[in-house]
């Protein structure tokens, strides 16, 4: 027969056992991913110090954008979001941008062995992907990928640049640059402000 004191003892033991278990008891459960206490995650103390170079993105960002309309040569304005959080147990940053029906995202990882950032990009509903590499140049971050000039066979570089970075937001631009640097063809501009 179970008495009230045994029921109380069982309840106390169950409560103690539950309080000793982590929120995710599986082996290797990440502790630096987003959580209730840290909605954007945290930097893993074992991550390369350079991870902080992109910490300005972490949080929620509202942005205005302009994309070059190749047919008219005019800039088409729009708005977007660009939100980021720590990823891979606080060793990388994952960000997502939304503009109209389009969604694009990146995984940003710093490779300490090469001293470079490697950023993998994805977009939908029209699928696109690519990998850019680079790092800090003076007061900006430049990422590059070899690419033909739009609509040609001319070799060049697709360069993405973050600049005017501060606690309130950042600027970004995408441009194609000829290998000798003599031709610069901008195609996308974004201005973001931090909202949380």
Reading the chain (196 residues) residue by residue, the pLDDT tens digits are 555 544 444 334 444 334 333 456 677 767 899 999 999 999 999 999 999 999 999 999 999 999 999 899 999 999 999 999 999 999 999 999 999 999 999 999 999 999 999 999 999 999 999 999 999 999 999 999 999 987 788 999 999 999 999 999 999 999 999 999 998 999 999 999 999 9
pTM of the model: 0.84
CATH class for the domain made up of 49-194: mainly beta
Domain ranges, ordered by start, for the chain: 49-194
Using the CB atoms, write b or e for 20-39: b if 16+ within 10 Å.
eeeeeeeeeebebbbeeeee
- What count of Cα atoms within 13 Å lies in the side-chain half-sphere of residue 173? 12
Task: Please state the length of the chain.
Answer: 196
Distance CA 141, CA 160 (A): 8
Distance CA 111, CA 108 (A): 10
């Amino acid at each position: 027969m179970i008495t009230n004191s045994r029921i109380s003892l069982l309840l106390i033991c169950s409560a103690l056992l539950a309080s000793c278990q982590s929120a995710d008891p599986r082996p290797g459960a990440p502790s630096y991913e987003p959580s209730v206490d840290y909605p954007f995650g945290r930097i893993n103390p074992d991550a390369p110090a350079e991870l902080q170079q992109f910490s300005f993105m972490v949080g929620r960002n509202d942005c205005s954008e302009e994309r070059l309309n190749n047919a008219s040569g005019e800039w088409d304005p729009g708005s977007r979001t660009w939100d980021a959080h720590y990823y891979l147990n606080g060793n990388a940053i994952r960000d997502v941008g939304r503009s109209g029906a389009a969604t694009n995202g990146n995984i940003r990882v710093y490779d300490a062995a090469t001293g470079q950032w490697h950023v993998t990009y994805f977009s939908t509903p029209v699928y696109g992907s690519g990998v850019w590499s680079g790092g800090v140049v003076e007061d900006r971050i430049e990422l590059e990928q070899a690419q033909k000039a739009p609509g040609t066979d001319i070799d060049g570089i697709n360069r993405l640049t973050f600049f005017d970075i501060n606690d309130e937001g950042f600027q970004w631009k995408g441009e194609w640059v000829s290998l000798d640097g003599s031709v610069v063809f901008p195609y996308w501009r974004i201005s973001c402000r931090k909202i949380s």
